[in-house]
């Protein structure tokens, strides 16, 4: 048995609805511009682009109801409410018709974004990592097993901030639905158990400030509540 020269970091994980056990997380993949109205609000033509992906570090996960300190180096922190897919099996070159068999469950995520840093990166042709993959950038609520909720492909997704509606969409409006997302991603990387996929956000993204409470809801999956705390 090999030893480590430093204490190994904790295993990232997310809660599981109705269970004290947690789902260990390997990687976090995110889909960009997967609702037409959001693609348009970001200045893109939704009909002409195949899905594209970026990542967040797994240790950026934050549980439901846990606060997120306003992050450093930004003046424009945005919410992006999203459906999250949790994989229980992996593979590569998965056919869309076989993709849902990989899914362990579904949850709700908030793809927190330092929009000013992302915009600077886009303008300079640089990577998005510091706009998307910063500390505590991945709030994620409990994962609901497929055995309990099936494979939701329609139903409202809403984001409220301090009780005011900011984002509203429907899972049926995903440009690339979950089977296509898994199939496309599996042609780029080998997927494995514990991978999460944030599936994209509908229109209405906007700023959060310290003191706000951001609440993402998806029909049948409950809600993810994220208080924004002072910078810390
Ligand atoms: Mn997003």
How many angstroms is it from 3 CA to the middle of ligand 1?
Answer: 38
How many angstroms is it from 18 CA to the middle of ligand 1?
Answer: 27
pTM exceeds 0.75, yes or no: yes
Domain CATH code at residue 99: 3.90.850.10
Q: Which residue has the higher pLDDT, 42 or 171?
A: 171
Residue 40 is assigned to a structural domain of this protein: yes
Separation between Cα atoms, residue 194 and residue 59, nearest integer Å? 13
Residue 2 is assigned to a structural domain of this protein: no
Separation between Cα atoms, residue 134 and residue 154, nearest integer Å? 30
Q: Which residue has the higher pLDDT, 198 or 47?
A: 198
Residue 160 is assigned to a structural domain of this protein: yes
Instruction: Quote the mean pLDDT of the chain.
Output: 96
How many angstroms is it from 56 CA to the middle of ligand 1?
Answer: 11
How many angstroms is it from 93 CA to the middle of ligand 1?
Answer: 24
Residue 4 is assigned to a structural domain of this protein: no
Tens of pLDDT, residues 84-130: 999 999 999 999 999 999 999 999 999 999 999 999 999 999 999 99
The number of domains in the chain is 1
- pLDDT value at position 44? 83
How many angstroms is it from 136 CA to the middle of ligand 1?
Answer: 15
Range of the domain at 39: 13-229
How many angstroms is it from 131 CA to the middle of ligand 1?
Answer: 11
Residue 1 is assigned to a structural domain of this protein: no
List of residues 6+ apart from 112 with CB closer than 8 A: 68, 71, 77, 78, 79, 80, 134, 136, 137, 138, 139, 208
CA atoms within 13 A on the CB side of 69: 7
How many angstroms is it from 132 CA to the middle of ligand 1?
Answer: 9
Separation between Cα atoms, residue 96 and residue 94, nearest integer Å? 6
Separation between Cα atoms, residue 192 and residue 167, nearest integer Å? 31
Residue 149 is assigned to a structural domain of this protein: yes
- pLDDT bin (cut points 50, 70, 90) of residue 37 is confident
- pLDDT value at position 110? 98
Tally of helices (H runs) and strands (E runs) in the chain: 6, 18
Chain-centre distance for alpha carbon 193 = 17
The rounded radius of gyration (Å) of the Cα atoms in the chain is 17
Tokens of 182: 């898994």
- pLDDT value at position 48? 65
Residue 111 is assigned to a structural domain of this protein: yes
Separation between Cα atoms, residue 160 and residue 31, nearest integer Å? 22
How many angstroms is it from 215 CA to the middle of ligand 1?
Answer: 15
How many angstroms is it from 81 CA to the middle of ligand 1?
Answer: 7
Residue 134 is assigned to a structural domain of this protein: yes
């Amino acid at each position: 048995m090999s030893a480590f020269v430093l204490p190994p970091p904790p295993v990232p994980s997310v809660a599981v609805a109705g269970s004290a056990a947690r789902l260990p997380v390997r990687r976090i993949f995110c889909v960009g511009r997967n609702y037409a109205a959001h693609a348009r609000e970001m200045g893109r033509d939704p009909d002409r682009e195949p899905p594209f992906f970026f990542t967040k570090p797994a240790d950026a996960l934050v549980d439901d109801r846990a606060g997120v300190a306003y992050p450093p180096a930004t003046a424009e922190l945005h919410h992006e409410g999203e459906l999250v897919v949790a994989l229980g099996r992996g593979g590569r070159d998965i056919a869309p018709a076989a993709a849902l068999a990989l899914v362990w469950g579904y949850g709700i995520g908030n793809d927190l974004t330092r929009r000013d840093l992302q915009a600077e990166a886009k303008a300079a042709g640089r990577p998005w990592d510091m706009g998307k993959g910063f500390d505590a950038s991945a709030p994620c609520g409990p994962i609901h097993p497929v055995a309990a909720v099936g494979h939701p492909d329609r139903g409202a997704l809403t984001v409220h901030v301090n009780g005011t509606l900011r984002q509203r969409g429907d899972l049926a409006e995903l440009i690339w639905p979950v089977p296509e997302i898994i199939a496309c991603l599996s042609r780029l990387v080998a997927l494995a158990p514990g991978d999460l996929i944030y599936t994209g956000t509908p229109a209405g993204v906007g700023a959060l400030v310290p003191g706000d409470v951001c609440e993402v809801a998806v029909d049948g999956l409950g809600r993810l509540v994220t208080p924004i705390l002072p910078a810390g």
